[in-house]
Structure 1
Amino acid sequence: MIEAMEVIPELIAKFREIGFERSAHQIVGGLLILEGQLKTSVGDFDCLVGIDRQFRRLPQVQLLNSPAQLPHLSPHISSTGGICYAMPGTIVFDIFDPVGQTLLCVRKATHVLSMVLQGKMVEDLAEEFFASWFDLHCFMDVDDRQTGVISAVTIRDGKSVFRRNDVIATDDVQRTSLKLESLGVSFEEMSCNVYKISTTAQPRPYQNDWPPKTIGEVVNWQYELDHTARAKVLEAVKRGIRSPYMAIVVIIESPLMSYGVFIDLPHPNERRLLKKPALALQHIYRLPIKQIAIFRLDDEYIAQRNTPGCTTLSGLRITLVGCGTIGGYLAEALVKAGAGIGGGSVALVDRESLQPGNLGRHRLGFSELYKPKATALKGELERIMPSAKIIACPEDVRDLTLGEFDLLIDATGEESLGYWLAARYHSVVPTLSVWIEGAGVAVRSLLKRPGDGACYRCLCDYNKGSRYRSVKEDLKPVFAGQGCEGIYVPFSAVVSVQAACLGVEAALQWAGGSAHEALRTKVLSPGYEAATPDCSPETRSGCPACST
């Protein structure tokens, strides 16, 4: 490993070769500051380069003077001259070549500056907009993406992940309260209206007089970005002034990010000048503002953030039968994929309680011992997603009338119960079976659509005739346990997680409407060879379940 301090002399020598010198203004224990010029195709520009002496952060590059050619509104250049030359995580800094990597970063900053001065964007970079836009935080829990007026609550104490006086904008106070209560946060409704407006332009900072401090500066800035946004901001402010509320939050939704402003209003009795047509604008323009950084907390964002553009399970009514070693992990994955939100629901059906022998491979832990699995899992899922609609049914599925739902998932691993479910629901609703083969040798899933393809009983009968088997080798019974503990099939929790992953992937593809093989197999144990590629078996002639 290269010692960071040992390469500093070499670093300074290499930078001297390209015209940089060690600055006389150094802070003890701070960044190493070098002075020089960025030599672009447009011209040479004085700058400072701040280098982390431990090379744990990328170098900072800052222009000393704003280039005359720099547009009033520019991407990737902050109002203080900082150059955003790379998105976080897009540069892998080679710790074994810190000198070369630092020089590479400066070359990257030079390229970005050159492109900006030529009026070109560098598409893979994030805007440096939020670097100076952080007076307040506003957390958005808004499912309705339409613009308009919404409510707001504020944090009453600072003993939480939120700061005192942080704003939470919501279109459903009850849903938002569930999320805040799960964090133990004390909150209250604000005397405030939140207005959402949209713009077609990304926010870019001015190179001078930044950030804006009044409504007038905000609307003039918005006019340069998008002519239509100015009128929208003013209309929102005027509506707020006519209301009885004491503050306004204007949230501006641009194509890739949202940001906002907070405006304290005079008492309603003192707004006379703000309402006079002849004088209103000049007084409105003087109103001070605070910048608001927006962070989304809405359900759809949580479900879609990691799979942008893909279908989620939001809005679907899903019944999961079996909350055991597969069902526990599967239920969590379903909720994180959107199940239970957007008007959807997840019904958990399992008559069993969590036993000591379950703890080693179950999603639930010691604190849930001897509790009904369905009830305990409901509580765990509500901690994960407080706004999700989770229904616990700690009963035998054969004794229940389940009502209407969109997808049935059998995660029991019980072959006999699988037969019953296939017979009862094969023609009513899509049924997804997920199970483990042998002692964790393989995991499988089978999706049966009404009137199409093999059901779980069909597949079991096919297997008895050596068709559609998971592996070529014989699966010999493997059991463990004795006495009061009971006999069980041993396999690790990793196997259960793999089965759950296979199941949620099948559920998501079904929800997205994409054509895929009904039967899927993943072989886990070394020494076994897959016998059947993923496929869609046909209904077996004479299947007693399908003929029911």
Structure 2
Amino acid sequence: MGYTNEKDLYAHYFIIEKSGKKRVFISSDREEAETLASSLGGTLKPSSFRCWLLKTHISPAVPKAMPGTVKELFSWLRTWDKTLSAGVQKILSEPDYLKFKYVSFAIDTPVGRIGFGFNLDHLKRKGYSRSPNRYRQWLHNKGGETTLIRLSIEQVSSQFVHSRNLHFPDLYNKRVTVVGCGAIGSFVAHAMLRLGAGTGKLGGLKLIDPDRIGPENLGRHILGYPSLFEFKATALAADLNRQFPHSKIEAITGSVFAHQGLWGSELIIDATGEEAVSELLNGLRLQRKSHIPILHVWIRGNGEAVQALWTDDKGGGCYRCLLVPSANAHRQERYRVLKKPSVRRTDGCRAYTPYAVSAPLHAAALATEMVCDWLQGSPTPCFRTRATANADVFSLKNKNLSKIKGCPACEPQ
């Protein structure tokens, strides 16, 4: 079962056929059915059947035996919820259901969806097409022996999928932008999508990265060889669309600073791990006096630790407040983490910092944790550090970052 509008009296039946097997998909949205069929590699077959929708706030009564006939169904519904029972009887008093040879119902209950249906007598439904009450009366008498067909209903709508495992609101109808689709950003994007980014009429997930995937990326990126030499943003969007076809995902392969729609987001996640990009994004947010929060996340050293900083217009320090003036250097870390310099390697004319795939996974998990806290009302503590179990690093408590006096970004002279 897919999306259903609570105001609708019924949803439509769609038949999805794959490898000779058929599944019924009930939804109010044909486009959703077409998208699901395509995603499953199946074919959407036409069907004229409808499923009438009902809802109750009362948990179903537990009978000695589940009803097996229409008469037993009517009795069970009266015992369970008289209002629900009256709703079924009202539907059976209207002429619409007599247009079909089969009628079915899906009831939204506190314990999930319950579905059932039964076949309609061909001659009687034709004869009573203008007198549906007479057919209903027949169902209460001789027609009550009609065998009941129980439906096993599984929810597959995107709203159910993304909210089912949460005890707080998801990212439904929110606009999220991930800047950087490399090692960290690729895992962050997957996590945001599973939290509901890109769903709802207003929602969207935007991926921004001008670079292409090289062989040097594959060992710690969520994508593999099929995406080699493709734009990171485009390949990642295609992978996400394949897995979650109902989500709206947009790939931007240009510079984040040239993208005019950046500040139309409700959350920006800076997953570049590049200090220069992070400082520029931080400066733009402050310059615009934007209310849009930016979550910066990065890896320390060779993966010994990961850090994240949530910045917004609620006060507190900015990204630049992580550095302080130094007599021996232009600036130094305000909160030192690493005890030893990172190991660096060269590959031809390129230098890089090696770390295992566990590091970007660790960073993405930290960023996701903070987004979940934001969805619950507060992303504090705004500055967080996570170290691996065997890392030789300084212990640093999570905290709300305070502004430093004379910060050139948020407190210019």
TM (norm. structure 1) is 0.68
User: How far apart are residue 242 of structure 1 and its match?
Assistant: 5.2
8 Å contact kept, 1:191–1:247: no
- Superposed, 1:139-288 pairs within 5 Å as 140-142=1-3, 144-145=5-6, 148-159=9-20, 163-164=21-22, 166-207=23-64, 210-214=66-70, 216-239=71-94, 241=96, 244-265=99-120, 270-273=125-128, 275-276=130-131, 279-285=134-140, 286=143, 287-288=146-147
CA shift, 1:144, in A, is 3.9
Q: Distance in 2 between matches of 1:491 and 1:334?
A: 23
Residue 321 of structure 1 corresponds to 179
Q: Report what 1:30 is aligned to.
A: none
RMSD, aligned α-carbons: 2.5
Among residues 458, 476, 480, which one is paired with 2:321 in the alignment? 458
Report the CA distance between 1:526 and its aligned residue: 1.9
The SS at the match of 2:75 is helix
Q: 1:141-182, CA deviations, whole angstroms, 9 ceiling, x for partnerless residues?
A: 1264556322221123454xxx42x32111222123212211
Structure with the larger RCO, 1 or 2 (CA within 8 Å, 6+ apart): 2
Cα distance, 1:275 vs structure 2: 4.2
Q: Could you tell me how far apart the structure 2 residues matched to 1:177 and 1:468 are?
A: 53
Question: How far apart in 2 are the matches of 1:174 and 1:453?
Answer: 45
CA contact (8 A) 1:444 1:522 kept: yes
- Give the match for residue 293 of structure 1: 152
Runs (4+) off by over 6 Å: none
Aligned amino acid, residue 187 of structure 1: L
Contact 1:274 1:284 in 2 (8 A): no
Deviation (angstroms), 1:522: 0.2
TM-score by length of 2: 0.89
State how many pairs are aligned: 399
2:334 is equivalent to residue 467 of structure 1: yes
Which ranges in structure 1 are unaligned for 5 or more consecutive residues? Answer: 1-139
SS at match of 1:446: strand
Task: Give the structure 1 partner of residue 345 of structure 2.
Answer: 480
Residue 526 (1) aligns with residue 382 (2): no
> For the Cα contact (< 8 Å) 2:93–2:136, is it kept in 1?
no
C-alpha spacing 1:458/1:143, structure 2 compared with 1 (3 Å) = farther
Q: Given residue 232 of structure 2, which amino acid in structure 1 is its aligned partner?
A: K
- What whole-Å deviation, never above 9, does each CA across 1:96-153 have from its counterpart, x for those lacking one? xxxxxxxxxxxxxxxxxxxxxxxxxxxxxxxxxxxxxxxxxxxx11264556322221
Q: In the TM superposition, what is the alpha-carbon distance from 1:323 to its structure 2 partner?
A: 0.2
Question: Residues 277, 507 of structure 1: CA spacing in aligned structure 2 closer, same or farther, 3 A cutoff?
Answer: closer
Alpha-carbon distance between aligned partners in 2 of 1:259 and 1:170, rounded to the nearest angstrom: 15
* Aligned: 1:375 with 2:230: no
Aligned residue for 1:534, secondary structure, equals coil
Structure 1 or 2, whichever has the larger Rg, is 1
- Alpha-carbon distance in 2 for matches of 1:420, 1:453: 18
Say whether residues 1:516 and 2:380 are aligned partners: yes
Distance in 1 (CA, whole Å) between partners of 2:100 and 2:376 is 44
Query: Deviation string for 1:361-415 (max 9, x for gaps)?
Result: 0000111000000000001111221101100001111221125110111000010
Unaligned runs of 5+ in 2: none
Does the 8 Å CA contact 1:237/1:248 hold for their aligned counterparts? no
The 3 A distance-change label for structure 1 pair 268 and 167 is farther
